[in-house]
Structure 1
Amino acid sequence: MIRSVLCSLRGFSTLPPLLQAAWLSFAIGLFMTLLHLWIFNVVDYGLDGASVESLSGKVLYADRGGMLIEDADSGEYTRLKVVRGISYLNVGHDQILGRTLSFTHLRDAVLSCTLDGQELCIAQCANAMECLDSRRERETPQGILIVAFGTSLACLGLHGLRRRKSASGSGIF
C-alpha cells in the first residue's frame, strides 16, 4: 500500500531501486514514529490516576485473561484482568479456582495476588505511573522503528557507494 502511494508520486518509479527502498523504509519509519508518539501521549490504558486497591475474595472463574472474584466482605462480584506488563500469574488457572485470595489491583487490572502469604500473581510495577510506562513500552513498535530508519540509511549509503564506484569506473556494483 505504501509503495503504491509512493509510486503514484511523480518520478518515484524512475528512481533507482535503492532510493525507492530508502524512501519506502523512511515512510514506514515516519508512520511508526507517529504511532509511537500517539501511544505515549494519548493512550492511557485506563490507568491514569488509578490508585492501588485491595480485595480479598473467592475465585469463581479464571482464565488467561482474568478472574471473576466474589468479595469475601460484601459478596459482590468483581472482574479482574491479568494484563501483560502489569502482572503475571505463575500458577495454573485451575489451581486457584475456588480458593480465597488476597489481591491488590489498579482499577480492573491485577497487580498481585497471594494465597496464605504465597505470591501467585507477581506484580511488575508498583503504581499507576509505573504500570502505564510498562504497558506503553510493551506496545510501542520501537524495533520496527529502528529497522525502518536503519534500512533507509543503509539503502542511502549503498546508493552513495554505488554512485561513487560508478563515477570512478571500477564497476564493483
Structure 2
Amino acid sequence: MKVAFHQIVGDEYVRRISDDGWFPGDEVTALTPVDGLVSLRRIGSDRVDVTGRMTVIVTAACDRCCRPVSSELMIELTYHCRLGRESVDGVATVAECREEDCQTLFLPEPIIDLGILLREQIYLALPARVLCCSDCRGLCQQCGTDLNDTRCSCLQDGDGGPFSVLRQVKGK
C-alpha cells in the first residue's frame, strides 16, 4: 500500500484500508476484517499529512498462560510525512521534542508506505500487558502446566521455587 506524493492531487486522497499483506499476523491475528479509511493531504512539495481511523477485533496470546485473548482496537492515526532528514548539514539537531515531532516521519523518497504506518498503529494500540484475566496464574515454570486449570505437583515437591536457596542461607 504505497502512495507516491505525485498521486495526491486535489484537496485529499482517501483510501479504504484493507488487509493486503501489511497486518502483523505473527503475534496478532485479526478476527474481523480491518475497517477504516486513510486520508492523505499534500502540503507543499515536501510534506503530506496522513490521518485516519480503523477498527479491528484481534486476538493475541496471554502473557502468562498463552491462552488467546481478543480485543477490539479502535485506532485514530496522524502522521506528518516530510522529505529529507532530521539534520542540518549532516549533523543531528538537538532540540526539545514537541508533540508534533513525535508524529513527524522523515522520508528518504516521496513515497509513503501505508502498510508500515498501519502495522505500527496496531502494535501501539495493543495493551502493554495482554492478560486473559486479572488473576491469571500462568504456567508452571518447570512442567508447563496451566495453573489456572490444575494444581501442579512441581511446587509440592518441596523445592519452593527459584529462591528456595535464599531461605537456606537465611536460616544459617
* TM-score computed with the length of structure 1 as normaliser: 0.29
More RCO (CA 8 Å, sep 6+)? 1
* TM-score computed with the length of structure 2 as normaliser: 0.29
Q: Which has the higher strand share?
A: 2
Q: Which has the higher helix share?
A: 1
Larger Cα-atom Rg: 1
